[in-house]
Structure 1
């Protein structure tokens, strides 16, 4: 993954890089670019990044000028000490707008949005490929797991949910058995039928049968309990609530 940082304050850039690495430890980070002119030159000479973190006010003007001169489809997370630019930000590919000093919860929300958009795009592309080439698209019917020295194949019908803990992906069966997977949660999601499994947040990808309870929570969010899961704080963001309800009601 390639991430570009556009920020004219070096301490703020260094702090942002440190925060970003908590979510994307293997990402290749470019920048820090501190001006409109340097940013435009960088885009003219380099491949588009996968994600951009961009301050609104730079040394030589407002950063929106960059994206008026350079046409990109790359998602942008704007950072600024001022809130009057929010509407303009969302007119130029912004997926979020974070006020400085950057709070870890705000950054986590922005990362969630980015990952949800990427997942949605991947699923939509897979669906489109399936419509165009139905014989070439299929979801996994089984997952291969290791248990000590033993290798086992778990049917998709026996899987309750997938989870991610400390950068490790786990498969949980309906019987309550837990296995380690070698793929990431994002990769796993692309291998299961979205009609049967839903990515409720960054940590969980669950089947309908795994859901034990659904409760209203603050800020229009939902709280979910899963069978054979001890995590008491499984929350669905306000942005995902409608999609989740539609998935349950299909």
Structure 2
């Protein structure tokens, strides 16, 4: 049996090679690769191995990039250090998965599963990504200060955020303005891109606050927002395609 190891942590690679040598003394270890680049190059120049042990986080990126750049048909046993919750998710989807440091018994079970030739349920690359990459969460409320009182504003009540004289404010659907302690750049990363769009350097608008959209000179768009007296809100030609896609999703 020819086994390829793709692992960027040398101690982990040495331990895995030692365990495999003990459990499968007749196997041939093809060597250890530690980067996506090296793995892609290897697969373009060599026949497929019988089995691959693959770390998810490599020295130059996520190992899933290998599958996007090279043809990989050999069975894979994942080896990485993600938490127990992620491991349970992988197991529920019938994917072989070993937590580092690798336990000899767990390795033996994974090898038995491979050698038995059992067919497991198929799972897409995107599903695997979703299992190991936690879904990003966005703010539901923003804190604002009114005199000595602190109040929360639900994001569903926010029409838009804007900057004015080096101050960031939020405007509610009820036409009230409040100062917030974030820059627009920070807010852009805090709110859902499905609900909010960065119109330009001065405005981030909720979808419901877009009152009118007009074509403008030089392939730009002019936006009218509800409860807004600024009639010169422009979207650049570079952002126009993304804005239209967001508006029509």
TM-score of the superposed pair, with normalisation by structure 1: 0.47
Return the index of the structure with the highest Cα Rg.
Answer: 2
TM-score of the superposed pair, with normalisation by structure 2: 0.47
